[in-house]
Amino acid sequence: MSEVDEKKSLLDRLQDNYRLVIVDDDDLKEVNTFKFNLLSLYILLSTAIILVGALAISFIIFTPIKKMIPGYGEINNNAEYIELRQKVDNLEDLVEAQEVYNKGLSNMLKNIGPDDNTESNNNNIQKDKAATKTLVDQPVTSVIKADVDEAKKTNELSQLMFATPLTGKISAAFDPDSEHFGVDIIAPKNTAIKAIMGGIVVNSDWTLRDGNTVTLQHSRNIVSVYKHNSSLLVKNGEIIKTGQAIAIIGNTGKMTTGPHAHIEIWYNGSPVNPANFISFN
């Protein structure tokens, strides 16, 4: 390299022209020639790198691939996260409804279980009969105490507002001695049966004994039961409002003698007479 070349500035060196010649290896014939300098080559490479980077950034920003980048965006605004959170909330509601159902069913069957024909239940029935006979033989003070307890229970429920499930004639009254723990109401065909209070559906299914049955768990440890329906309008775990239609009157199940609605109310695990709190006329 000459002394003149060493004194050239960097800009001058970048502007030096070069030639790239492509030659056929067989006949040494010149195929093509390219003229360039280092400055133009640097500009070309820089432009290409910038374009590739801009395309890569645009691809990340404007396509779903950005979701795969850790820490990109707020997770609370992610549609999939919101959907999963809603599913978790629904599962929590179902778990709570199941817990309420288990508690209400346990209270309902604690003392009386008409569908249980096991030997253990038969022994309980015999004990209940013996207890009833003993109660009759006891002094008047015991009977008075039982009446006071029943009056207290009736007074507590009388302070609540119950919606009329349907209007019609009572064909069979409340009679716990014969294991008829509700009232039977005769009404026109296709009459809708409504919830007496707001609550949660803990059972909406068909049984051989009672046909299409709906059981609702209400506040204050109140459970209402609607049996022998022709069809059911609600599902397990559904939240019901007061007066909402839950079933259609029918004649399903073995324990029925014609189209009617069988309505039961259970309070603190014991059946009470619905006619004491609801006017069916």
For residue 167, count other CB atoms closer than 10 A to its CB.
Answer: 12
Which residues have C-beta within 8 Å of that of residue 118, sequence separation ≥ 6? none
For residue 69, count other CB atoms closer than 10 A to its CB.
Answer: 9
Q: Is residue 265 part of a domain?
A: yes
Looking at residue 117, what is its pLDDT?
A: 47
Using the 3D structure, point to which of 60, 77, 108 is the last residue of a domain. Answer: 60
Q: Which two tokens stand for residue 12?
A: 């001058």
CATH number, domain containing residue 272: 2.70.70.10
Beta bridge partners of 183: 263
Element (H, E) at 47: helix 38-61
pLDDT mean for each 10 residues of the chain (281 residues): 58 77 80 81 90 88 71 60 81 78 67 46 55 46 52 75 93 92 93 95 92 94 94 95 96 84 92 91 85
Using the 3D structure, point to which of 45, 60, 75 is the last residue of a domain. Answer: 60
Query: How many domains in the chain?
Result: 2
> Range of 167's domain?
162-276
Q: Is residue 194 part of a domain?
A: yes
Q: Is residue 147 part of a domain?
A: no
Q: Which two tokens stand for residue 115?
A: 């569908």
What's at 222, amino acid-wise?
Answer: I
d(CA 227, CA 49) in angstroms, rounded, equals: 77
Q: Is residue 256 part of a domain?
A: yes
What's at 215, amino acid-wise?
Answer: T
Looking at residue 186, what is its pLDDT?
A: 93
Q: Is residue 113 part of a domain?
A: no
Q: SS3 string of 97-123?
A: HHHHHHHHHHHHHCCCCCCCCCHHHHH
**pTM of the predicted structure, to 2 decimals:** 0.50
Four-CA torsion 135, 137, 140, 144, nearest 10 degrees = 10
Looking at residue 152, what is its pLDDT?
A: 65
Q: Which two tokens stand for residue 15?
A: 């502007």
Q: Is residue 236 part of a domain?
A: yes
Q: Which two tokens stand for residue 186?
A: 């005769």
Q: Which two tokens stand for residue 261?
A: 């609605």
Element (H, E) at 82: helix 79-109
Looking at residue 167, what is its pLDDT?
A: 93
Looking at residue 132, what is its pLDDT?
A: 46
Q: Is residue 150 part of a domain?
A: no
Beta bridge partners of 240: 199
Using the 3D structure, point to which of 60, 77, 96 is the last residue of a domain. Answer: 60
Within the chain, strands assigned E span 17-23, 30-37, 169-172, 182-186, 192-194, 199-207, 211-217, 222-229, 231-232, 239-240, 245-248, 261-267, 270-272
Q: Is residue 207 part of a domain?
A: yes
